Structure 1
Amino acid sequence: MAAISNSNTDFACKLFHTLSHADPSGNIFVSPLSISSALAMVYLGAKGDTATQMAKALSFSSRSGVHADFETLNADINSPSASYILKLANRLYGENTANFLPKKEINTWVEQQTENKIKDLLKPGTVSTMTRLVLVNAIYFKGNWMDPFDPADTKEMSFETYKDGKKRVQMMYQIGEFPYKYIPEIGLQILELPYVGELSMFILLPEKTENGPDPLLMLEKKLTRANLEEWTKRGNMYNHKVHVHLPKFKLEKNYKLNDPLAKLGMTYVFWSGKADLSGMKGDKTLFLSTVAHKAFVEVNEVGTEAAAATEESDDDMGFIDPIPQVAHFTADHPFLFFIRHDKTKSILFLGRFSSP
């Protein structure tokens, strides 16, 4: 279990870096877990250099046990006793002399899996007579804050973007005891907002600077699994009384992931004549034509609703703060955030909020 969680976190950071490089200042929101779990199905049938490239891109340390680990992870996260709603589902549509289900039927399945939050994943022209493999994946999450915000405390405030100046947002507010960490060496505040259940949102807020390099981009350069683990482990975050200002926000992002995945070294699986998915069909005619990812998130006073779809053509929180103090966490400028399953340390969603 630890191995697959580590792989997912490594992949999440690597994928984020490629998306950030392509769009240094825009909003980003993806579900690394849903992407890697979907691609793991293709990896099952990959051989030779295709399998080697996929393993490197997805940070799989060993071929054996990958799929059993994903099944265990999925069962753990989707526990029937969970107080949140989280659904992760994959379907692989293989060619039968290129006869695929109609695009409408595939889109309908995705909509059903994401509570109608992800619509029209497959665009016109995605599935054609040249298509040989379609992998459809959907993930949906809805959770309530353990300590919800009072809507009466939500006020209009300014949010300072690094590119477009100040914009007005609906800023939520509360004061409470939350796991919190400040790292003065890099000017970083980290706040954990737990959901009811075994999930938490972590918000990474760099300090604002009047001059010098973009503090968010400087933070992103330090975004690695080792740093995330060190920054957010239980022994390094303590319960503080925190004044929390967090904007309400809603993001919906569409990505064609062929190029980002290729930049991670996963190229052959997209090439007709190079892809070796013979473990699925017995020959080398199968290949992925497109990896499309669509993700949605809404954060409000009650909690978070998030969804994503991909198509590929006992740690206690009773911390003791050695130096009690009141912290002010004011997210009125760009920040990073991720939603993590506490027990397995798996990152379900990862994003950058840089502009309302």
Structure 2
Amino acid sequence: MGKVGTLILLGVFLKSVHCQWKNTQVSEFGSDLGMKIFNHVAQSKPTENIIMSPNGIASVLGMLQLGAGGRTRQQLNNVLKYNSYGIYRKLKRIHKSLTESRNQDIVTIANGIFAPSDFAMEQPFIRKTKDVYQAVLRSLSFENPVEAATAINQWTNNQTRGMITNLVSPETLGEATRLVVVNAIFFKGLWKSRFLPENTRNRDFYAADGNVYQVPMMSQKSTFNFGMTLTPTNVKYYILELPYHGGTLSMFVVVPEDLNIQLSAITPYLNIQVINSWKSVMKEKKLDIALPKFTAEAETNLERPLSILGITDMFDEIKANFGKISRSGQLYVSQILQKAKIEVNEDGTRASAATAAVIMLKSFRITPPFVVNRSFLYILHHNPTGTVLFIGQVSKP
């Protein structure tokens, strides 16, 4: 059996300048939010490889939500779709389900809050971030941006086991910085059915840029959940589930039936409800599959897609309200970004993501073999909770 390692890193930076749910699991709301953001990014980058962490984005926004008030909080509530402490307790249970030691697939989550020792934070914010997100407060001066960035990046490197080495640059930090919050998730598991390296060979891949490339394709014969479904616009696509050996996590591979169909015809219709519906169309089938080995790395500025979804006030020096984080000055988010990386080979997958928010004081039918030889989507999904840890597109391996 092969192995898979997945890692998420999330960072929130706070700086200063002088002057409704019913039948849906809580985790699904955060995953749906991240998938909406992914769609916005994918639509603007149809020929690029993309990797993002919906779970990571939702976690950072959730921590900001705990410190927000007024319209800033209301906008976060509307997009996250939760705001009560009862739901925060459910988030704790999701965290426990993801990370419990009896899981054969390993998921670890670490949260660090970096702040100057003289920055007065509200105790309820510290208490709630620790209670809900297990965040640990760490003292760090930002007067020397180089040293501060080194300290944060070293912590990041340690928590992500070397996958994310440079989350922040010294230029991101400065005397105005008041808080950096980093959330890291690391996943490592084994493929339930391993790809043998000796079966890997070069094959044609029809990339989104219109070119055909020779790429290493892994292959194996085994039994997989497999099916075909339609978008509301009648675009047909295949779904292949590649499970990990622990039984709680799977990678779903989504491939358009028609070689000429772009992924942008599918991504707007992806959400947790759709993923859940795949279970009714997928059947166990013995297949001879071929999947590209690939590596993708991306950095995404999240301000624009979040603003399109309705989160705007937190980026405005005048309108932002983070008084529940600190009363020592008005805070706003000056930057929010995510860095992510994924590697897929015969042994499995290694993936990582880092999101940073900077807050400042105001101033069908198929016949085997099934060859994934065109642009495709992939989703790393925690089956018991519905949490999407990663989503991405491969336009060219």
Q: Tell me if both proteins adopt one fold, taking TM over 0.5 as the criterion.
A: yes
Partner of 1:199: 249
Partner of 1:222: 269
Q: Is the 8 A contact 2:240 2:252 kept in 1?
A: yes
Q: Which amino acid in 1 is paired with 2:56? A: S
Q: What's the offset of the Cα at 1:72?
A: 1.3
Greater shift after overlay, 254-263 or 64-73? 64-73
Q: Secondary structure at the match of 1:204?
A: strand
Q: What's the offset of the Cα at 1:256?
A: 1.9
Q: Deviations over 1:218-247 (max 9, x none)?
A: 11232233322212x2x3321111121100
In structure 1, the gaps of 5 or more residues are 314-322
Partner of 2:322: 277
The whole-number CA distance in structure 2 between the counterparts of 1:115 and 1:57 is 32
Q: Is the 8 A contact 1:275 1:284 kept in 2?
A: no
Partner of 1:52: 74
Q: What's the offset of the Cα at 1:326?
A: 5.2
Partner of 2:235: 186
Map 1:105-254; keep pairs closer than 5 Å: 105-183=151-229, 185-197=234-246, 198-210=248-260, 214-231=261-278, 233=279, 235-254=280-299
The whole-number CA distance in structure 1 between the counterparts of 2:68 and 2:265 is 37
Partner of 1:318: none
Q: Secondary structure at the match of 1:277?
A: coil
Q: Which amino acid in 2 is paired with 1:328? A: P
Q: What's the offset of the Cα at 1:157?
A: 0.9
Q: What's the offset of the Cα at 1:325?
A: 8.0
Greater shift after overlay, 170-179 or 91-100? 91-100
Partner of 2:110: 89
Q: Is the 8 A contact 1:161 1:334 kept in 2?
A: yes
Q: Deviations over 1:11-50 (max 9, x none)?
A: 1221111111332221110111012112211111111100
Q: What's the offset of the Cα at 1:152?
A: 0.8
Percent identity between the two aligned chains? 33
Q: What's the offset of the Cα at 1:91?
A: 2.1
Q: Which amino acid in 1 is paired with 2:320? A: A
Change (3 A) 1:217 1:144: same
Q: Highest relative contact order (Cα 8 Å, sep 6+), 1 or 2?
A: 2
Q: Is the 8 A contact 2:46 2:263 kept in 1?
A: no
Partner of 1:319: none
The whole-number CA distance in structure 2 between the counterparts of 1:65 and 1:19 is 32
The whole-number CA distance in structure 1 between the counterparts of 2:367 and 2:47 is 31
Paired positions, count: 341
The whole-number CA distance in structure 1 between the counterparts of 2:259 and 2:179 is 48
Partner of 1:13: 35
Q: Secondary structure at the match of 1:179?
A: strand
Q: Deviations over 1:279-308 (max 9, x none)?
A: 121365122222121111111111111111
Q: Is the 8 A contact 1:133 1:286 kept in 2?
A: no
Greater shift after overlay, 345-354 or 60-69? 60-69
- When normalised by structure 1's length, the TM-score is 0.89
Q: What's the offset of the Cα at 1:83?
A: 1.8
Q: What's the offset of the Cα at 1:344?
A: 0.8
Q: Which amino acid in 2 is paired with 1:64? A: Y
Q: What's the offset of the Cα at 1:93?
A: 2.8
Q: Is the 8 A contact 2:259 2:374 kept in 1?
A: no
Which residue of the other structure, out of 365, 373, 381, is the alignment partner of 1:340? 381
Q: Which amino acid in 1 is paired with 2:344? A: V
The whole-number CA distance in structure 2 between the counterparts of 1:125 and 1:221 is 35
Q: Is the 8 A contact 1:276 1:284 kept in 2?
A: no
In structure 2, the gaps of 5 or more residues are 1-22, 120-139, 359-363
